Amino acid sequence: MSVASVPTAAASVHVLAHQAATSTYTLAHQAATSTYTLTPERIWASAAALLALAGVLLGALALTPFAGRIGAGNGRTPAITAMAAGLLAVVNGGLVVVTADGGPGTGNGIVGGFVALVVGLITVVLGRLALRRSRRASAT
């Protein structure tokens, strides 16, 4: 072993030791997260799921004939708002799922991310149906 390769070998050992310590810390952090702890990822996923749920309510409201009587116009405004809320929920839920490091119970909000994805897609479909119905009603 030459003298020139000694710093390289020392740097390699340092990098490997740092990676081992970091992975040990990550595993300990994930194991220390309890089921009821609110982590930032869980809050983010829950907010996306609640946004999707609000969009479902707006989409359902836009689909009913009652929407015109409560000041929601012909149902176009709640339909567009529902579609926008659903799209935001899908994007945020997808980001939560993509950035999650572990599975359910690790504090990464992956369950809430999947809920936001599914309910957000339902919201977009409801909003699209309501928008189509409002266009058909305004054309006649």
pLDDT in tens, 32-78: 566 677 888 888 889 999 999 999 998 888 888 765 555 556 667 88
Average pLDDT over residues 87-100: 91
pLDDT in tens, 112-121: 899 999 999 9
Residue 9: predicted pLDDT: 46
Q: What is the pLDDT of residue 133?
A: 81
Residue 12, token pair as written in the block: 């390699």
For the residues 3-19, what does the mean pLDDT come to? Answer: 48
Which residue type does 126 have? L
What local confidence, expressed as pLDDT, does residue 10 receive? 44
Residue 20 pLDDT: 47
Predicted pLDDT of residue 68: 55
Residue 16 has pLDDT above 60, yes or no: no
pLDDT at 31: 53
pLDDT in the model for residue 104: 82
What rounded mean pLDDT belongs to the chain?
Answer: 75
pLDDT computed for residue 107 by the predictor:
73
Report pLDDT for 49.
92
118 burial (CB, 10 Å; 0-12 / 13-18 / 19+) is middle
Q: Which residues contact 135 (CB under 8 A, 6 or more apart)?
A: 76
